Amino acid sequence: MSFLLRLALRSAWNRRGTLGLVLASIALSTALLWTLEGLRRDLRSSFSQAVSGTDLVVGARSGSVQLMLYTVFRVGGATNGISMDSVRAVSAHRAVAWTVPIALGDSYRGFPVLGTTTGYFQHFAYGDRQPLALASGRAFSGQLDGLYEAVLGAEVAQQLGHRLGNRITLSHGVGATPGLEHADKAFTVTGILQRTGTPVDRTVHVSLQALQAIHLDWVGGAPMPGVRISAQDARKFDLEPRQVTAALVGLKSRAAVFTVQRFVSEYRDEPLMGVLPGVALDELWDALGLGERALQLVCALVALVSLAGLVATVLAGLNERRRELAVLRAMGAGPRDVLWLLVLEGAVVTSTGAVVGLLAALGAQALAGPVLQARFGILLQMGLPAATQWGVLGAVLLAGMLASLLPAWRAYRLSLADGLSPRL
């Protein structure tokens, strides 16, 4: 038997061109499947890591997915705001470490404007608890001196070509049709954030007071007729906001999250709700699961095509091997030896291909990982293959063996029927 094995290896080596192609195709599809499966997993976690380190998002009572949509993804708008008194009440809870109020509603050339406090830059985190970092400049000061200061997300700055010191004017409202501009109160870009791969990149950040200031002489979505308050004079007014859209809440200990959540929902003066971002984002992902299912379908099709290729290549190669098999038969090799030789060959080629593919995928991941995060905001989790990825690898191996059974069975039948002389 060991002689037959050595013979099989020499025979395989003799056909290394064809087998190499089969091996390469298996390696490619393994790499593709492995990467796609990993990407699917990482896409999901990237999505659910659009916000991290925030234990609760507090807003007016509506749906949790809706609240996530506008507070995290800046999609749609809030039906109701919450009063700053409520925010202060939540901050006063003994389990709460910090609160960051946020206000939405204006835009800058299609990008949402977020009014917040300087605490946002300290507490907001994304991904694996990565804090926001400035690529250049500084955060807005939060003081009256630096009232009209703005911090741009990376995408905003890159798309519009803004640099530090540029002056920008915000538009009232959000949406495709630009509303009226707050032309009299221009903002200066003081900071540009590093790319995060989250909606932060598409956001213009200003202080809550600045939002208050640009709306002083506005009422009902339009400038008040006959009233003009200059940018300078605005500083004399009380700019403390009475209402915000929502508040991000950080706790001293995660264990208290349900206590605080109950405190929020039972708050007397105003109907509020507190949402756990991770849970709500998972819900949202499930609602948007179509893309994920499409990826899965593509994965399955890729696997199918490459295995069909394997079977076709081995079957096509079988005809040129019929003489070889007939010679072996005449020398005393049985049909079962022939079956065994082909299955063995299929197994070796498949497993080698799978290993090569796996190494290629890991190599590509190491090379492309940083680019992916910077350009597309997908955080690849290096060195942590998901269970489903191992499942994919196992499926490729199993399917490869099964696929090699088909040509092997045909060779077995042929060598039974051919006798000594292959009837070609």
Comparing CB distances to another protein, the nearer of 310 and 328 is: 328
* Shortest distance, position 341 Cβ to another protein, whole Å: 13
Rounded CA gap, 56 and 87, in Å?
Answer: 12
* Shortest distance, position 12 Cβ to another protein, whole Å: 9
Comparing CB distances to another protein, the nearer of 20 and 419 is: 419
Judged by CB under 8 A, does residue 17 bind another protein?
A: no
* Shortest distance, position 411 Cβ to another protein, whole Å: 15
Going by the DSSP 8-state scheme, the letter that residue 132 receives in this structure is P
The amino acid occupying position 225 is P
Give SS3 for 166.
coil
Distance of CA 105 to the CA centre of its chain: 26
Dihedral Cα 262, 266, 267, 272, nearest 10 deg: 80
Comparing CB distances to another protein, the nearer of 233 and 320 is: 320
H or E element: which one contains 44? helix 16-48
Judged by CB under 8 A, does residue 419 bind another protein?
A: yes
Judged by CB under 8 A, does residue 11 bind another protein?
A: yes
Judged by CB under 8 A, does residue 421 bind another protein?
A: yes
Judged by CB under 8 A, does residue 417 bind another protein?
A: yes
Residue among 298, 304, 416 nearest 35 (CA): 298
Judged by CB under 8 A, does residue 332 bind another protein?
A: yes
Q: Are 24 and 353 in contact (CB under 8 A)?
A: yes
Judged by CB under 8 A, does residue 8 bind another protein?
A: no
End-to-end alpha-carbon separation of the chain, Å? 28
Judged by CB under 8 A, does residue 5 bind another protein?
A: no
**The tokens of 399 are what?**
């399917």
Rounded CA gap, 166 and 143, in Å?
Answer: 20
138, 167, 293, 323: which one contacts another protein (CB under 8 A)? 323
**The tokens of 401 are what?**
């063996």
Comparing CB distances to another protein, the nearer of 172 and 329 is: 329
Instruction: Give helix 64-71 / helix 277-287 axis angle, nearest 10°.
Output: 100
- Span 21-60, contacts to another protein by CB under 8 A: none
77, 317, 335, 369: which one contacts another protein (CB under 8 A)? 335
Rounded CA gap, 140 and 343, in Å?
Answer: 68
330, 382, 384, 402: which one contacts another protein (CB under 8 A)? 330
Comparing CB distances to another protein, the nearer of 28 and 338 is: 338
Residue among 226, 104, 120 nearest 173 (CA): 104
Give SS3 for 332.
coil
Judged by CB under 8 A, does residue 94 bind another protein?
A: no
Comparing CB distances to another protein, the nearer of 330 and 359 is: 330
Comparing CB distances to another protein, the nearer of 162 and 329 is: 329
- Residues near another protein, by CB under 8 A: 3, 7, 10-11, 13-14, 323-324, 326-337, 417, 419-421
